[in-house]
Structure 1
Amino acid sequence: MLPPPLSSDHQVPFDDRGLAYGDGLFETVLLRAGVPVLWRYHVERLAKGCQCLGIPLPCQSALNATWQGKPSAELEVLKLILTRGSGGRGYAQPEPVTPRLLSRRAPFQPSVQRWQQGVTVRLCNLRLSRQPRLAGVKHLNRLENVLARQEWSDATIAEGVLTDSEGLVVEATSMNIFWQQAREVFTPRLDQCGVAGTLRAGLIDKGAVAQASLPLDQFPDVERLWVANSVQGVWPVTTLLAADGSLLKRWSVNEPDPIQRLAHQLLGYA
């Protein structure tokens, strides 16, 4: 049986494996009037991550307890962290495994201006390493994303685009990528690395988005470009910069935007 969820006021023990090794998973969930949005997709991704890492999945009542209760605002963000718990010798897992579930919720407001006016993104120098076993999983070891985000401090740049070691576009530092070509909308395949977002999953299930590979040298040639996640919604990209800051491509913010409209319906923003 899992211990009860810890609040943000509790300290994580020194020997927690999530703290020591990144041995765990997390979810970032939009709450609307206290109810989680795309909850099924979040639970499914958490379950896939638990299966991948060999961590027991908390029971549904324990997961639901993290968001049930009086909301502090109309919109909130719930962050769940699930670690393998404490113990074990070195990298060897403890026997038995007693996972630790932590949660925290905070008021949130999306950037409507970025929805409407679009954003600037840049290419990152860092390349994601390939590890198919972890592909799609939102695990706690996000050092590649942390290092990539350190590459710029310009507040006018909203996101950084990450490619893998083979030169294929994968994702942004904290969002998924979508592009339009020949009137079809695509998102990168995430069978080698990257995080499979829940909004991305919803759009794929709706038949609005197909998965494809996009080599970096073809990236500036796409007709339209978006970055998106299940909290912020969809940001149209208007400017693409190289890692050195030079201009690679500009796009206009076109209306109607069917991907943004459908995504925001899924999130309750429309």
Structure 2
Amino acid sequence: MTPRLSVDFVDAGSVPATDRGLLYGDGLFETLRIVDGRMPLWERHTARLLAGCERLRFPPPDTTRLRVELGRLAAGLPDAVARVTVTRGGGERGYAPPTTPRPTVVVAVSPLTLDARAPSEGVAVRVCDTRLAAQPLLAGLKHINRLEQVLARAEWDDPAIGEGLLRDIDGDIVSATAANLFAVFDGELVTPAVDRAGVAGVARAEVLAVRDVRVVRMNLARLLEADEVFLTSAVRGILPVRACEGRTWQAGPAARALQAHWRDIGLPSPMGRKDSDR
């Protein structure tokens, strides 16, 4: 199905060639799941989007209007994935931002089906060669320049591999290409820091809010010593990791409890199959 699209709250499928999002990656995006018109993680998505606009210093969109637009485009879809892209808008040629930016808001909504086996059986992951550069000014933001993730995802085409793990230039694990990572050591739940690189995911924020979690720096050798490993995604939910670098795991109690929490807040396990690059 062709995505349902709007630009600046009007049905459309294109933006001007001079938009700074297209020219410079000057913008932010959110990817969220909509179930029967409900958006259980909406407040976390809007909080991140508003904080990102403040950090990049351009006006945020009207989030009330944005929610109405998402509901309009998702009407009739029992399970949908939406992408909201907000750019700084147009401007004069060159990197200097306009003094009075007029942001562009693009909304795309599509039906969602994912691999229904992944939450129960877990996913195999690989370690990517592509490294994430350290840039504290952008760390945590979901900005629209995703070239590191594009290069990392291009490293494999094996359908048996569900995700790729990304390290920073020091060799510490940061995240997966499109998910955050958690591990359990002797009953303690930990997650990598995202203050130098990576995205502070909405699902990660939900886990941090409902569980005791220690934020750490962790290299690959340490990760492979974990008792349990799982990924978190606002769209895909809680995905146990079953294999990495020859190490195997069973889905553990931490992941299972969080999957139950996901169901409780209105995000049931997905049905059917589709690509999982979300």
CA shift in 2, pair 1:171/1:264, >3 Å:
farther
Q: Which amino acid aligns with 1:251?
A: W
Tell me the amino acid that sits aligned with residue 60 of structure 1: T
Local SS of the residue matching 1:67: helix
SS of the equivalent of 2:239 reads strand
Secondary structure of the residue aligned to 1:227 is strand
State how many pairs are aligned: 261
What is the one-letter code of the residue matched to 1:163? Answer: R
State the shift of 1:255 in Å. Answer: 5.5
Write the deviation string for residues 181-238 of structure 1: whole angstroms up to 9, x where unpaired. Answer: 1112111111111111111101111134332221222121111111120110111111
State how far apart, in whole Å, the 2-side matches of 1:23 and 1:155 are: 32
Rounded to whole Å, the distance in 2 between the matches of 1:99 and 1:140 is 14
In structure 2, what residue type is equivalent to 1:187?
A: T
The answer for the alignment partner of 1:15 in structure 2 is 18
* Match status 1:36 vs 2:39: yes
Deviation by residue 1:148-170 (Cα, 9 ceiling, x = unmatched): 00000100000000010111110
Corresponding residue for 2:120? 116
Paired AA for residue 268 in structure 2: Y
Change (3 A) 1:115 1:186: same
Aligned residue for 2:71, secondary structure, equals coil
Matched letter for residue 160 of structure 2: T
* Alignment root-mean-square deviation, CA: 1.7
1:72-102 Cα offsets, whole Å, 9 max, x none, are 3211111100000011230011232000001
Kindly state the Cα deviation for residue 267 of structure 1 after the two structures are TM-superposed.
Answer: 4.6
> Which segments of structure 1 move beyond 4 Å, counting only runs of 4 or more?
none
**Aligned partners of 1:155 and 1:200: how far apart in 2?**
25
CA contact (8 A) 1:187 1:209 kept: yes
Moved more, 211-220 or 83-92: 211-220
More moved, 54-63 vs 38-47? 54-63
- Equivalent residue letter for 2:52: G
Q: What aligned pairs does 1:52-71 form with structure 2 within 5 A after superposition?
A: 52-69=55-72, 71=75
SS at match of 2:137: helix
Unaligned runs of 5+ in 1: 242-246
In percent, how many aligned pairs have the same letter?
35
1:76-87 maps to which residues of 2 (within 5 A)?
76-87=80-91
- Equivalent residue for 1:244? none
**Cα deviations by residue, 1:240-262 (Å, 9 ceiling, x for unpaired):** 03xxxxx2x11123468223322
Residue of structure 2 in register with 1:251 after alignment: 249
Q: Who is 2:201 aligned against?
A: 197
Are the counterparts in 2 of residues 29 and 37 from structure 1 also a CA contact under 8 Å?
Answer: no
